[in-house]
Amino acid sequence: MVEKEEKYIPIVRWVGSKKRILDKILKNVPEEFEDYYEPFVGGGIVFLYMPYENKVILNDSNKDLMNLYKRIKNNSKELIKKVDKYEKDYLAHKESDRKDAYLDIRDKFNKLKGKYTLDRAALYISINKTGFSGLFQINKDGILTTGYGRVKNPKFYKKDQIEKFSKKLKGVKLMNTDYRKALKNATKGDFIYLDPPYVPDDLNEYNMKYTKDCWTENDFLDLVDLVEDLDKRGCYVMLSNSDSKFIRKHFPKKNYTIVKIPIHRSLSPNMDYRGYQHELLIMNY
């Protein structure tokens, strides 16, 4: 285990979190780099432990996640107050009534459709902590449909973690766009950690259609192009993905450093890993 002096816990539960392989990631970070880019930041565990010294640019296409991070950066006190109120209201219900309490929170959230307010950020954390597996399922009309999670005595937030996260976000550029746009200004010497959706195993390279994030084969091919482009720009690139035929074909050993990491299935019910024995860390350095 890499010694971590400061203890950080992500603010949200996140499917595909890199917590399990954080040590492997940190061990393979370049010794020195200029700016740090994380365009698929998710729960942010990699950012939290990344030893950066210069500018940091974080991005995710999830609007609610980035609204939350913006509020933590700029209005953490007000956010804590609101989340605290939602937590107290929720826990005041007896166990058998908590499903209804969850559905009330979800209704409030859905009524704010299109309005990315501080209240929405507080509701979003509440849903993340009480909904099914921390999933964020939005239907085509923009309505959140995640079911009740039956979490026993959930803790909606940890005050010290929000405060620490807020402090770390000062000076960090937060973006909410497609990863391709977020990387437009990356230049020589910058370090980019890419953690996109995993190439699925049950669709081979010829019939690959959609992942749960709606990535198509063309999106994965774009990602390959982008890594090649970043390499030409002189950036250090690290990519996490599945040990799939597609990834092996497009990131051959002769051009990339590849670290194979075993998947511990009992600890990882993540659907992305179905069928694989390993996941990969791929580096152009």
Ligand X SMILES: C[S@@+](CC[C@H](N)C(=O)[O-])C[C@H]1O[C@@H](n2cnc3c(N)ncnc32)[C@H](O)[C@@H]1O
Between residues 87 and 195, which has the closer beta carbon with respect to ligand X? 195
Residues whose CB is less than 8 angstroms from the CB of residue 63 and which lie 6 or more positions away in sequence, other chains included: 116, 176
Q: Is 146 in the site for ligand X (CB under 6 A)?
A: no
Kindly determine how many residues on this chain lie close enough to bind ligand X according to the rule CB under 6 A. Answer: 20
Q: Is 213 in the site for ligand X (CB under 6 A)?
A: yes
Q: Is 191 in the site for ligand X (CB under 6 A)?
A: no
Following CA atoms 54, 59, 63, 68 in sequence, which dihedral angle do they give, to the nearest 10 degrees?
A: -30
Distances (CA, A) of 52 to 21, 26, 170: 19, 11, 14
Between residues 85 and 181, which has the closer beta carbon with respect to ligand X? 181
**Residue 283 DSSP code:** E
Q: Could you say which of 11, 21, 25, 45 contacts ligand X (CB under 6 A)?
A: 45
Q: Is 16 in the site for ligand X (CB under 6 A)?
A: yes
Q: Which span (16-24, 89-97, 241-249, 261-269) binds ligand X, by CB under 6 A?
A: 16-24
Listed in sequence order, the DSSP H helices in 116-207 are 118-130, 159-169, 179-182
CA angle 139/141/145 to nearest 5° reads 35
Strand partners, 240: 281
For the bound state, the minimum distance from the C-beta of residue 28 to ligand X, rounded and expressed in Å, comes to 15
For the bound state, the minimum distance from the C-beta of residue 260 to ligand X, rounded and expressed in Å, comes to 18
For the bound state, the minimum distance from the C-beta of residue 104 to ligand X, rounded and expressed in Å, comes to 26
Distances (CA, A) of 75 to 67, 105, 187, 223, 238: 11, 21, 32, 34, 32
Q: Which span (41-49, 69-77, 137-145, 163-171) binds ligand X, by CB under 6 A?
A: 41-49
Q: Is 276 in the site for ligand X (CB under 6 A)?
A: no
Give the integer Cα–Cα distance in Å for 208 and 100.
39
Cα of 116 vs its chain's centroid, Å: 19
Q: Is 39 in the site for ligand X (CB under 6 A)?
A: yes
Q: Is 225 in the site for ligand X (CB under 6 A)?
A: no
Q: Is 178 in the site for ligand X (CB under 6 A)?
A: yes
Give the integer Cα–Cα distance in Å for 285 and 119.
44
Q: Could you say which of 14, 109, 157, 273 contacts ligand X (CB under 6 A)?
A: 14
For the bound state, the minimum distance from the C-beta of residue 58 to ligand X, rounded and expressed in Å, comes to 11
For the bound state, the minimum distance from the C-beta of residue 59 to ligand X, rounded and expressed in Å, comes to 6
Nearest-CB residue for ligand X? 42
User: Pick from 177, 168, 169, 185: which is nearest to 34 by CA?
Assistant: 185
Which chain residues interact with ligand X by CB under 6 A?
14, 16-18, 39-40, 42-43, 45-46, 59-62, 178-179, 195-197, 213
